[in-house]
């Protein structure tokens, strides 16, 4: 058993979060994809949780970067450093063997962007790097039997992108990827609060509003929350009460885009597979799929029942682990190895 020395790692390289999965151990790392760089020395100071703590709280010479923009690499050097940090941290410092790494990429990724991911992972210390499209991994992680000759629709909503795909016989039949997901919803909430109440709030507060009182459709019994921020006119701290239905109004445009992507893919789907999807329903994965009543909105707009997968935020990461265990089975889905 010579090959067993090479450790295996699955990396869900997200716009907001990086998850590292080790077969047999599960998810060993779950940290924000943020890197803090000191501009004077052009040196990387912190990665992950430590760097996120610094966002918005740093002197001007220290910049907190999110090297992934809309699910693809925006800053190559910083991404490589981030991957190196996560690979080392996941394996422990005494590991001498270079790992086999599988990284997730959005469905709409170009071959150049894909090469960038393979290259960054190889330079960061991987012996082999494989890239697999996110919807396939999300489907594997959600326990969907992707190899059968039936159509399954998967909608993966992360921080930067919403990936929609119909999968049959282990491959993607129709898919689209829109750069509208959790982050855009947060921004929409912050914009709404600013326009309506003249109150400036940070990304963190906007995300809390989304999680605590957000919903995709109006509700009869509203949840409310006290929102604190800075008054836009006086510059002083102030707080307001915000209700669920106001959040629904704030995010309706973003949700329309996301549901539009689902409708586009349904329209491209061959009729036989479309009838499978009506029977099986739509499976939703990713952190932002957990928005209250999102499945209800999808059902109202498409007429197809939707459900949120178990452990939705971790489906892609679990899928990488599954695919690494059975590389030969998932050969068709695995794209390149350099």
DSSP string, 88-140: HHHH-TT--SPPEEEEEE-TT--HHHHHHHHHHHHHTT-SEEEEEEHHHHHHH
Say if CB 19 and CB 317 are below 8 A apart. yes
Quote the pLDDT of residue 59. 75
CB-facing half-sphere around the CA of 324: CA atoms within 13 A: 31
- Comparing CA positions, the residue from 57, 81, 71, 62 lying closest to residue 16 is 71
Tokens of 82: 């981030």
Residue 70, φ and ψ in degrees, nearest 5: 50, 40
CA distance 314 to 319: 8
Tokens of 37: 């760089």
CA distance 64 to 57: 10
Quote the pLDDT of residue 139. 95
Quote the pLDDT of residue 253. 97
Compute how many other C-beta atoms are within 10 angstroms of the C-beta atom of residue 15: 23
Q: Which residues contact 238 (CB under 8 A, 6 or more apart)?
A: 199, 228, 229, 230, 231
- Comparing CA positions, the residue from 38, 82, 46, 45 lying closest to residue 62 is 38
Prediction pTM value? 0.88
> Order of strands across the sheet with 237-243?
199-200, 224-231, 237-243
Quote the pLDDT of residue 80. 85
Q: Render each residue's pLDDT in the chain as its tens digit; 338 residues.
A: 344 567 889 999 888 899 999 988 889 999 988 888 888 787 888 888 888 887 667 677 788 778 877 767 777 788 888 888 898 888 887 777 889 899 988 877 788 888 888 888 998 888 989 888 899 999 999 999 998 899 999 999 998 889 999 999 988 999 998 989 999 999 999 999 999 999 999 888 999 999 999 999 999 999 999 999 999 999 999 999 999 999 999 999 999 999 999 999 999 999 999 999 999 999 999 999 999 999 999 999 999 999 999 999 999 999 998 888 887 777 666 654 44
CA distance 168 to 120: 30
Quote the pLDDT of residue 338. 43
Residue 304, φ and ψ in degrees, nearest 5: -110, 135
In order of their start, the domains of the chain are 2-137+316-325 (3.30.420.40), 144-308 (3.30.420.40)
CA distance 61 to 70: 26
How many residues in total does the chain contain?
338
Secondary structure E strands in the chain:
8-13, 17-22, 26-32, 35-38, 43-47, 62-65, 68-69, 72-73, 100-105, 128-133, 152-157, 162-168, 171-178, 199-200, 224-231, 237-243, 282-285, 306-308
């Amino acid at each position: 058993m010579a090959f067993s020395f090479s450790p295996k790692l699955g990396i869900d390289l997200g716009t907001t979060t990086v998850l590292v999965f080790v077969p047999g151990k599960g998810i060993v790392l779950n940290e924000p994809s943020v890197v803090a760089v000191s501009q004077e020395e052009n040196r990387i100071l912190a990665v992950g949780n430590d760097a996120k703590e610094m966002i918005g709280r740093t002197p001007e010479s220290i910049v907190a970067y999110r090297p992934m923009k809309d699910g693809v690499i925006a800053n190559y050097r910083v991404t490589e450093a981030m991957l190196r940090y996560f690979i080392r941290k996941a394996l422990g410092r005494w590991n001498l063997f270079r790992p086999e790494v599988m990284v997730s990429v959005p469905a709409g990724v170009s071959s150049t962007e894909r090469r960038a991911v393979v290259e960054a992972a190889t330079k960061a210390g991987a012996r082999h790097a494989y890239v697999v499209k996110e919807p396939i991994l999300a489907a594997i992680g959600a326990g969907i039997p992707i190899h059968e000759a039936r159509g399954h629709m998967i909608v993966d909503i992360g921080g930067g992108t919403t990936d929609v795909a119909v999968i049959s016989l282990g491959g993607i039949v129709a898919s689209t990827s829109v750069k509208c997901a959790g982050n855009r919803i947060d921004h929409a909430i912050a914009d709404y609060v600013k326009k309506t109440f003249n109150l400036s709030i940070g990304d963190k507060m906007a995300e809390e509003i989304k999680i605590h009182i957000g919903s995709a459709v109006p509700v009869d019994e509203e949840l409310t929350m006290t929102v604190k921020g800075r008054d836009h006119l006086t510059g002083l701290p102030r707080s307001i009460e915000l209700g669920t239905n106001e959040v629904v109004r704030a995010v309706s445009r973003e949700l329309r885009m996301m549901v539009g992507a689902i409708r586009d893919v349904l329209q491209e789907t061959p009729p036989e597979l479309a009838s499978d999807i009506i029977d099986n329903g739509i499976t939703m994965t990713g952190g932002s799929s957990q928005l209250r009543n999102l499945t209800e909105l999808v059902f109202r707009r498409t007429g197809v029942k939707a459900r949120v997968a178990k452990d939705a935020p971790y489906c892609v990461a679990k899928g990488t682990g599954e695919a690494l265990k059975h590389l030969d089975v998932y050969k068709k889905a695995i794209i390149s190895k350099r």
